[in-house]
Structure 1
Amino acid sequence: MSRDDEVDLLVDAWADRIPGVDFTPLDVMSRLRRVALRLNQLRADAFRSAELSSWEFDVLAALRRAVPPHEMSPMELSRATVIGTAAMSNRLENLAARGLIVRKANPADGRSNLARLTDEGMTRVDAAMLALVASEAEELERLTPQQRSQLADLLRQLGSEAG
């Protein structure tokens, strides 16, 4: 692999300006940032292909992963998507207006409601997920299956909160 990509040049420039500093963290994290930016674009393209925004996909995907009939309370959705309850309420209203979910009374709690994925919502979120997996697979083709597994293991370690 070439030693002259943009990150190499950036790290080399900093090493010239501040000698004696180990810039290995910058080398690794700058590459992760660039991969993250690329992933954000892949995700946006996949979601757009199904006529969804990222936030719509997140909510619909949480519902799709739930056991049939694919319904959750706003509180459960807030936890699953790490979105505040006020924002979630607004998002659910927008999704219902688009026909991607329906809202119904919660039989277990008369003070709340449940959001249920509609057939149209399921079609859209499934299409977005299939487009995303295909584009991510294409992005990873340059790695062998063993390299992909190793990378996943390394990122799992890096991403764990325990460190």
Structure 2
Amino acid sequence: MQESKEHQEPPLDHVARIQAAWRRERPDLDVGPQAVIGRLHRIATLLTRELCVVYQRYGLSEGEFDVLAALRRAGAPFERAPGELAAHTMVTTGAMTKRIDRLERSGLVTRRRGDGDGRGRVVALTVPGRELIDRAFTDHMHNEQRLLGTMPPARADELEGLLTAWLARLEDPGGDASDVGR
């Protein structure tokens, strides 16, 4: 006799299959944490793939989008020092230099000497850079709304609360969270 559709167990997802294999191979270990951490990692990977589709539509990598977004969030005159940009995007200064070089070649940012002692540099959005990030960010938000729209609003609110509380416990309390939500 076949079970009705509403009483059938959902098929095992990728993480559940991995857990089942580990339970078989290492019954001495509690693989329960994989249920949450493994799924969060898998969701992050899938979401990144979906988010990058929008960035690529504008000729940007994920990192370049982050740099332009950090400059745009700075407010007028839309500029930051390279070290500050690195902190706002959580990348090394070497990686930041490569991103800035490419964005500068594309005419989306400029570099100039800082107003202080003249040794420092400042990176600023150009008008085309600001126009591009404004369009790209609008599409990015529509894409995030589409992705989150796959779950009921009450569940999304519940998930936001759970993730906020967990992040507060894991994050460095003195850290800069200015890049959250890009």
Which band: TM-score by shorter chain? 0.7 to 0.9
1:97 paired with 2:101, answer: no
Check 1:111–1:162 CA distance in 2 against 1; reply closer, same or farther (3 A cut): closer
2:169 is aligned with 1:157: no
Which stretches in structure 1 are left out of the alignment for 5+ residues?
none
TM-score norm. by structure 1 comes to 0.87
Question: How many residues are aligned here?
Answer: 163
2:66 alignment partner, one of 44, 58, 72:
58
- Which residue matches 1:46? 54
Distance in structure 2 (CA, Å) of the matches to 1:44 and 1:162? 25
Q: For residues 10 and 91 of structure 1, what CA distance do their matches in structure 2 show?
A: 37
Closer, same or farther in 2 for the Cα pair 1:2/1:72, shift >3 Å?
A: same
Give the share of equivalent positions with the same residue, in percent.
Answer: 33
Which AA in structure 2 matches 1:18? R
- Structure 2, unmatched stretches of 5+, are 1-8, 173-182
Kept after mapping to 2: 8 A contact 1:51/1:124: no
Q: 33, 41, 44: which one pairs with 2:41?
A: 33
Deviation at 1:29, TM superposition (A): 1.4
Question: Residue deviations 1:125-155, cap 9 Å, x none?
Answer: 2222222222222222232222111111222
Larger mean Cα displacement after TM superposition, 19-28 or 113-122:
19-28
CA contact (8 A) 1:52 1:124 kept: no
Matches within 5 A, 1:116-127: 116-127=124-135
**Equivalences for 1:60-79 in 2 at 5 Å?**
60-79=68-87
What is the identity, as a one-letter code, of the residue corresponding to 1:70?
A: F
Q: Is the 8 A contact 1:42 1:132 kept in 2?
A: no
CA deviation after TM superposition for structure 1 residue 48, in Å: 0.3
- Write the distance in 1 (CA, Å) between the matches of 2:60 and 2:147: 22
Summarize the Cα distance change of 1:109–1:67 in structure 2 as closer, same or farther, 3 Å threshold: farther
Residues of 2 paired with 1:15 and 1:84: CA distance?
Answer: 39
Query: d(CA) in 2 for partners of 1:95 and 1:154?
Result: 37
More divergent stretch after superposition (42-51 vs 17-26)? 17-26
Q: In the superposition, relative to structure 1, how do residues 162 and 53 fare at CA in structure 2: closer, same or farther (>3 Å)?
A: closer
**Is 1:106 matched with 2:114?**
yes
> Per residue, is there more helix in 1 or in 2?
1
TM-score by length of 2: 0.79
For 1:100 and 1:131, the matched residues in 2 are separated by 18
- Deviation at residue 162 of structure 1 after TM alignment: 5.6
The residue number in structure 2 matching 1:88 is 96
* Structure 1 vs Structure 2 CA RMSD: 2.1
